[in-house]
């Protein structure tokens, strides 16, 4: 399992994949990432400390991801991140959070003492598909609601049941309402959600220009950020 990498193309930053407590929701239909969670706080803190020791601060920006939200990281790990920010002169953090924590984002900003760019797994702005099929448990209805709290939505494409129109609308809304965004091309995993190869082929042809868009990162594989397994 790779847990540290340096991203040098779009939005240059160091990135670490840390272990956390189980996702507070943990019922998204498409997600099996929770296998990386744990309840052994001491073991998690020790592993996370090893990973954080690799951070050099060379780019002044650090992204921290885990199988859930940043609020589910152990307290010792959060304190260590704060110390790394100070010691390595990190000027900006990237964190990810579920919609349910939207009222606590400023709490983390105050704790860390530096600006935080918050990502959120929107998956799609199509409410019915997001809630009734993907079971995301994120009750917003408009991109404006999300933009009031979060900086960078992550959308998912290439799922059976999705349509070209849904994907086109999601990308339009991300571009219209946010300065940054991520597109995850769905890869089959242990869940019953399945990849639609024809839809993926269409997306890659229709939206190939996104690779040259400095505001959009496209992950064709889960490990395209250089971390994970």
Using one digit for the tens of pLDDT, what is the confidence trace for 83-122?
999 999 999 999 999 999 999 999 999 999 999 999 999 9
182 contacts 220 by C-beta, under 8 angstroms: no
Query: For the segment 130-166, what is each residue's pLDDT rounded down to a tens digit?
Result: 999 999 999 999 999 999 999 999 999 999 999 999 9
Note whether residue 49 is domain-resident: yes
Note whether residue 127 is domain-resident: yes
Domain total for the chain?
A: 1
pLDDT class of 196 with cuts at 50, 70, 90:
very high
CATH for 99: 3.20.20.70
Domain enclosing residue 91, as ranges = 4-219
DSSP assignment, residue 130? I
Query: For the segment 159-189, what is each residue's pLDDT rounded down to a tens digit?
Result: 999 999 999 999 999 999 999 999 999 999 9
CB-based contacts of 87, cutoff 8 Å, min separation 6: 57
Note whether residue 229 is domain-resident: no
Note whether residue 119 is domain-resident: yes
Specify the pLDDT at position 32. Answer: 83
Rg (CA), the chain: 17
Rounded to an integer, what distance in angstroms lies between the CA atom of residue 45 and that of residue 175?
37
Note whether residue 227 is domain-resident: no
Note whether residue 48 is domain-resident: yes
Note whether residue 86 is domain-resident: yes
Note whether residue 78 is domain-resident: yes
User: What is this structure's pTM?
Assistant: 0.94
């Amino acid at each position: 399992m790779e847990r540290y990498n340096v991203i040098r193309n779009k939005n240059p930053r160091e990135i670490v994949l840390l272990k956390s407590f189980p996702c507070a929701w943990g019922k998204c239909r498409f997600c099996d990432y929770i296998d990386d969670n744990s309840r052994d706080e001491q073991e998690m803190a020790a592993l996370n400390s090893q990973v954080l020791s690799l951070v050099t601060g060379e780019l002044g920006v650090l992204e921290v991801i885990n199988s859930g939200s940043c609020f589910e990281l152990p307290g010792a790990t959060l304190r260590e991140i704060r110390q790394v920010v100070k010691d390595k002169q990190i000027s900006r953090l990237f964190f990810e959070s579920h919609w349910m924590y939207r009222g606590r984002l400023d709490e983390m900003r105050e704790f860390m003492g530096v600006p935080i760019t918050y990502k959120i797994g929107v998956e799609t702005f199509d409410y019915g598909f997001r809630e009734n099929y993907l079971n995301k448990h994120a009750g917003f209805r408009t991109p404006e609601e999300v933009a009031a709290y979060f900086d960078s939505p992550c959308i998912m494409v290439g799922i059976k049941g999705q349509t070209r129109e849904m994907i086109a609308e999601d990308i339009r809304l991300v571009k219209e309402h946010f300065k940054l965004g991520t597109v995850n091309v769905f890869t089959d995993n242990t869940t019953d959600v399945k990849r639609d190869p024809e839809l993926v082929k269409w997306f890659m042809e229709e939206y190939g220009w996104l690779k040259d868009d400095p505001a959009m990162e496209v992950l064709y594989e889960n490990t395209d950020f250089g971390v994970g397994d």
